[in-house]
Chain A
């Protein structure tokens, strides 16, 4: 649970790799750290990349990966001589596909509505950012008190309906969040 996307908020770097056998990996491709796989930073070291070959080291063991074939979003990869097939999706397309038969109430529950009338003081995130459950999204001033409004799930900021300085009513929709731990 203790995912921290603090330094890597960019949801466009989060992908889902789905295997034919139903196994699913949620993978954050980093720019400046170890890859985050299923919410956990993994001690995987990248050794080399030559043409279609990718070499990693994990727990002292080398993993030789080779791209065998690619058909749109289907990727067949050979790891130490054994093939694994994955269907790849960005988190956005994954959410889109996942939304179809999801409970509308659950979707609404993840969205952030204003708990009270007030004024938006600051917005900490932008659309497309990743957010962790309990992490502040924006600051709302009401009755001369500043309140941090936090996310109720790990998710992606889908849409921000307000701007800094704007006054809002109670129950007004502020931010749409898509849960990613689906």
Chain B
């Protein structure tokens, strides 16, 4: 009997998982949400379960109880959560297990522990992973904070223990401002959370985001597949990712990778996972967190290692032993991923909703497209705005940048705006080209005007003129001289030539 795998997700990642399932001889099953009944991923699966979620208070992909109920009713063996939604929800993983479903991911306990920052950090310290220097718990007053800051060096950041969303957070540049800023952070924290506990951490002014891909089985084998650099972020959302990173040496890669593996082994990790590091300008790096799911940007790792991460994620869930050894993992060439989100980079990245009249993707050797949409698809306000990923690989970084730029030029989306022009801008920016870019790039450098260019403006003016002229001339002359064809004689000539 073929095993049945239910994908508790949608969009490009659902299609990506279906591909692996079919390769492994597993029947793929997806959920049809009433919020997106014509979605592309539904066409790829062997079976579709209609979730009838129109009257539910949340979309099916967030409804753990209903997913499990449908899975049991449809004789599902395995459940793949994808990313986002319930992928890092320990209760969902536990509910799957309790109902005899094989949840493709680590154990509920591991998901839970890694999700609680204080526990994750404590476990990190135990295995020797460096953390951003900071106070162990709350500091009682500005005096103590000042003493602590003197010991780790300025700037420092004050954070409310109960905080979130930037509230109760202050960056302190020098000792003289400590008293004032400590008080305002404290007051804000008390007002917002009813808890004035403030802890203090070293503030990295221009950090880079590096993450190591981990792969482990249920038999204690864990390897890493090198790093990805995801420093190009906008409001903590990654936009362009690359593998490997030009910011570290081979020795650093080995050190950081080994530490990640050591940590994963120590906590008994299995499945795919990601150890996220934050790296300072001087090359010192610190553990941030561990993600216990497959990540959006996993394809760049697949492109440079040749390892299919989702195949392995499914195989280790089925209990297979990892046949890959650390020494088998070789990084070949360079890969870049551009996220195509239906967001308007000219207008604060506001989400774009509506029809995709036409979408054209670049093609060619070393170009991989992951998408959940096609011509005529609808982008709804209910789900994430990422509609596609353009992943490009080449022999080295310089080549992959120019190849990705060509690929972006070939990409065409009619009907909605997207982040494609933004990605194009990033790839041409000197900071990116020289690999000096940090997570602050967008805040420090980006203005929408940078998206414009003279040739495009001129050709836009020409297109506007043709559109205007067509009507204007017809009205003005009322003669057939200006019908469509004659206006476009130039057009026709060019077509023939």
Chain A residues proximal to chain B, CB less than 8 Å: 12-13, 15, 17, 19, 23, 25, 27, 29-35, 37, 42, 44-49, 53-54, 56, 58-59, 61-67, 70, 73, 75, 77-84, 86, 88, 90
Contacts and interface: CB of A to CB of B under 8 A. Distances in A.
Interface in B448-464: 451-453, 455-464
B396 interface: no
Contacts of B464: 17, 75, 77, 84, 86, 88
B429 interface: no
B414 A53 contact: yes
Nearest to A45: B494
A44 B369 CA distance: 30
Interface of B: 346, 358, 409-410, 412-414, 417-418, 420-421, 424, 451-453, 455-469, 472-473, 476-477, 486-491, 493-495
Contacts of A61: 409, 455
B465 A15 contact: yes
Nearest to A66: B414
A58 B452 contact: no
> When A and B form their complex, which 8 residue pairs have the shortest distance between CB atoms, in order from nearest?
A65-B463, A17-B461, A25-B461, A88-B468, A81-B421, A84-B460, A46-B491, A75-B464
Contact of B463 (A32, A73, A79): A79
Contacts of B452: 82, 84
B409 A80 contact: yes
A31 B461 contact: no
Contacts of B477: 12
A148 B194 CA distance: 91
Given A31-B486, A81-B421, A12 B462 contact: no
B462 A35 contact: yes
Given A66-B414, A88-B464, A23 B457 contact: yes
23 contacts: A13-B469, A15-B465, A17-B461, A17-B464, A17-B465, A25-B462, A30-B490, A32-B490, A35-B490, A37-B462, A46-B494, A46-B495, A54-B463, A54-B467, A59-B455, A62-B409, A63-B459, A78-B460, A79-B459, A80-B421, A84-B461, A86-B461, A88-B472
A88 B413 contact: no
A104 B473 CA distance: 30
Contacts of A78: 417, 460
Contacts of A58: 455, 459
Residue from the set B462, B468, B488 with the largest chain A CB neighbour count within 10 Å: B462
A44 B467 contact: no
B451 A47 contact: no
A59 B420 CA distance: 21
A94 to B, nearest CB: 12
A37 B458 contact: yes
B486 A77 contact: no
Contacts of B494: 45-47
A37 B461 contact: yes
B459 A83 contact: no
B489 A31 contact: yes
A29 B467 CA distance: 11
Given A13-B473, A17-B461, A63-B456, A54 B466 contact: yes
Nearest to B414: A66
Contact of A46 (B420, B424, B455, B490): B490
Residue from the set A45, A46, A75 with the largest chain B CB neighbour count within 10 Å: A46
Residue from the set B452, B456, B472, B494 with the largest chain A CB neighbour count within 10 Å: B456
Contacts of B469: 13, 15, 29
A99 to B, nearest CB: 19
Contacts of B420: 81
A87 to B, nearest CB: 9
Residue from the set B421, B465, B473, B488 with the largest chain A CB neighbour count within 10 Å: B465
A88 B465 contact: yes
Residue from the set B409, B457, B464, B466 with the largest chain A CB neighbour count within 10 Å: B464
A63 B459 CA distance: 8
A2 B372 CA distance: 52
B83 to A, nearest CB: 26
A64 B412 contact: yes
Nearest to B472: A90
A67 B459 contact: no
Contacts of A33: 490
A86 B490 CA distance: 23
Contacts of A84: 452, 456-457, 460-461, 464
A29 B466 contact: yes
Contact of A81 (B418, B467, B486, B490): B418
Contacts of B486: 31
